[in-house]
Amino acid sequence: MTDIPVLYEDLHVLVINKPPGIVVNRAQSVQEQTIQDWAEERIGSNTRSVHNEEDRVFVERAGIAHRLDKETSGCLVLTKNPEALSHLMRQFKERIPKKKYIALVHGIVVPKKGEIRAPVGRLPWNRERFGILPGGKEAVTKFVVHSSWSISHGKQKQELSLVELCPETGRTHQLRVHMKHINHPVIGDWQYAGRKTARNDRKWAPRVMLHAQTILFEHPVSGKLLEITAPIPDDMNRIIRSHDR
């Protein structure tokens, strides 16, 4: 597996900078190595004896406290023992951690600052996709536009914006669905940007351009606030630097 950069580590917590293109959790449909495989080897969760429910959850999850989509890069929190995992999972359930993502999206986003409040649910006609549904779960995303500009690809001109996204809730695909909802889908998003748009995007943007840049949470033992930041990956930086050309 690709070398996984470690952003923070102590006796209880491990925060990695997940590279894009790696699946977090094992599944029957996943053939390649996952972050879960890496975590079992790194933390040794699969060799731990199971005496109670906390132990079982820790072993099953390999200490992974939350998830990121395959193509999303950035901060991912893992734990080294069942007690720390239980504490972190409770924090996520109670929405204590604060996350900040950056994304490259289509178009010039206006206004420069705002909030998207729209319920997200799994689409009944396509169980692999999510959308804005009246019966969906509450979902709130705050956004700030850092910059907007145009770049050229052959004869085509593309307007795009660099935005900061702060999810107040943690629904599956929430950020991608919300940006699609306001007509500014994430660049390279093969599920939500539209087939033709995503196909054209992939000629110059290799993936869904979404990065989990910062996470703030309570240390499960000391209770102190930890704020961890993952550097912007090269594939996003290359596009961002085009703004200055």
pLDDT band at 152 (very low <50, low <70, confident <90, very high): confident
- Token digits for 55? 């132990």
Residue of 3, 55, 69, 235 marked catalytic: 69
- The pLDDT score that the predictor gives to residue 244 is 57
Beta-bridge partners for 8: 15
Q: What is the mean pLDDT of residues 72-83?
A: 97
Could you tell me the end-to-end alpha-carbon distance of the chain, in angstroms, rounded to an integer?
35
Decide: 65 and 89 in contact? Cβ < 8 Å: yes
> What are the C-alpha distances in Å from 157 to residues 108, 149, 210?
13, 10, 21
pLDDT digits (tens, 9 = 90+) for 93-108: 999 999 999 999 999 9
Least confident of 49-58, 91-100, 223-232: 49-58
Mean pLDDT value across residues 109-132: 94
- How many Å separate Cα 207 from the centre of its chain? 13
For the segment 6-15, what is each residue's pLDDT rounded down to a tens digit? Answer: 999 999 999 9
Domain residues of the chain, as ranges? Answer: 6-244
44-53, 63-72, 209-218: the lowest-pLDDT one = 44-53
pTM: 0.94
Residue 37 bears catalytic tag = no
Can you name the residues that pair with 104 across neighbouring β-strands?
162
Instruction: Of 91, 107, 100, give the one whose Cα is nearest residue 194.
Output: 107
Chain Cα centroid distance, residue 55: 26
Pick the CATH number of 6-244 from 3.40.50.300, 3.40.50.720, 3.40.190.10, 3.30.2350.10: 3.30.2350.10
One-letter identity of residue 189: D
Position with higher pLDDT, 202 vs 153 = 202
